[in-house]
Amino acid sequence: MRKSISFASMKKLKIQGIWREPNHQGVRGSRRMREIWLYWQATLTFAEASSSLRAMNVIRHTDKDFAERLRQLAAPSSLFDPVIEERARGIVDAVRTRGDAALVELTERFDHAKLTVEQLAVTQAEFLTASFKADDSLRAAVAAASKNIETFSRKALRKNWTSRNAHGAKVGEKFDAFQRVGIYIPGGTAPLVSTALMTITLARVAGCKEI
């Protein structure tokens, strides 16, 4: 026997053999009804917990303070602080004009690491030493990932094409790789090998001559 029970009415019911609806008719309890009761309790608990959360900030153009709230949202961010931008531009300009000498100076200033220009580039011997420190399973995993990424990247390469339009003019697209790219690989406590694979492999497949 199926009875229609609202969540509002369920609040007055108890999980037992006999269920009572507002009209006080006795209805034999069922597993489905107990499931509904438990679901209602979980929903009520979630709603009570959610009431303390911060509501979404909604702005409507019909609001009286719409202009002011929009101005606050569009206000300059600290991310674009003119002082920070000026200092960052100074660093870029220094490296552009003085090259590796500026890198050495800035590395000592910010990282407190004293290096020479000769120590900036990683040597082939250092690459080999680091490679031998990896166990066979890691090296196999890196090799497999590199192969998969290269295969995918080759299939994703944009291809040049040309055609003639209705007026007989030659149209098309030509894709050329960057001649030089710089790639940043995050280090710290967990060097991201995946980042190196996903960026260096892609640049190599694209045809970048200097990475």
The tens digit of pLDDT for each residue in 72-130 reads 887 776 667 788 888 989 999 999 999 999 999 999 999 898 999 988 888 899 988 98
Rounded to an integer, what distance in angstroms lies between the CA atom of residue 37 and that of residue 41?
Answer: 6
Residue-level pLDDT at 43: 59
- Mean pLDDT value across residues 170-185: 92
Question: For 188-199, what is the mean pLDDT?
Answer: 84
> Quick one: DSSP state of residue 161?
E
Which residue intervals of 21-81 are DSSP H helices? Answer: 31-50, 66-73
pLDDT exceeds 50 at position 4:
no
- Distance of alpha carbon 165 from alpha carbon 115, whole angstroms: 59
pTM of the model: 0.51
pLDDT at 66 over 50: yes
Number of helices (H) and strands (E), helices first, in the chain? Answer: 8, 4
Q: For residue range 138-150, list pLDDT tens digits in order.
A: 889 999 999 999 9
Residue-averaged pLDDT of the chain: 79
